Amino acid sequence: MSKKSILILGDALAIALLTLIGFATHGETDISYLPRMAAAFFPVTFAWFLLAPWFGLFDEGIIANPKNLWRVSLVMLFAAPLATTLRAAWLGVPSLPVFTLILGVTNAVGMILWRWVYSSLKIRSRSRDA
């Protein structure tokens, strides 16, 4: 599996886990909430994969350096409003600024953690190969 494929799969899994955690904090993990989870997951995933390449988050030279993790927050600064607007249109509800803020911050923190684990493992495997 290529490094880019690992990142894509890891990003999608991280967003899915963050969505599940978000619903769990509200006690909404029953299967009946699956459509609403999808209404949160797909817009965030779309916005992330639309914007992340523009910020170099799939470029090996950039992602290998943990000092570039700030780029994840920058992507989420733009991805969260796009995602919540898409979600609001899908559900036919207003897009709440506080929800946008919480979604953006929690997803930024979660994606930074995932990307930090990835870059740490990458550094460790490089030092082991050397």
Residue 53: per-residue pLDDT: 97
Per-domain residue ranges of the chain: 3-129
**If we measure between CA atoms, which residue out of 49, 54, 61 comes closest to residue 111?**
49
How many CB atoms neighbour CB 94 within 10 A? 9
Report the distance separating Cα 98 and Cα 106, nearest Å.
Answer: 12
Please give the single-letter amino acid code of residue 63: I
Side chain identity, residue 9: L
Both structure tokens of 12? 């999608």
- Tell me the pTM: 0.91
What's the token pair of residue 116?
A: 């930090």
Residue 89, classified by CB atoms within 10 Å of its CB into exposed (0-12), middle (13-18) or buried (19+), is exposed
Question: What is the reported pLDDT for 100?
Answer: 97
pLDDT of residue 26: 93
Residue pLDDT tens, the chain, 130 long: 888 899 999 999 999 999 999 999 999 888 989 999 999 999 999 999 999 999 999 998 888 888 999 999 999 999 999 999 999 999 999 999 999 999 999 999 999 999 999 988 877 776 676 5
pLDDT in tens, 7-21: 999 999 999 999 999
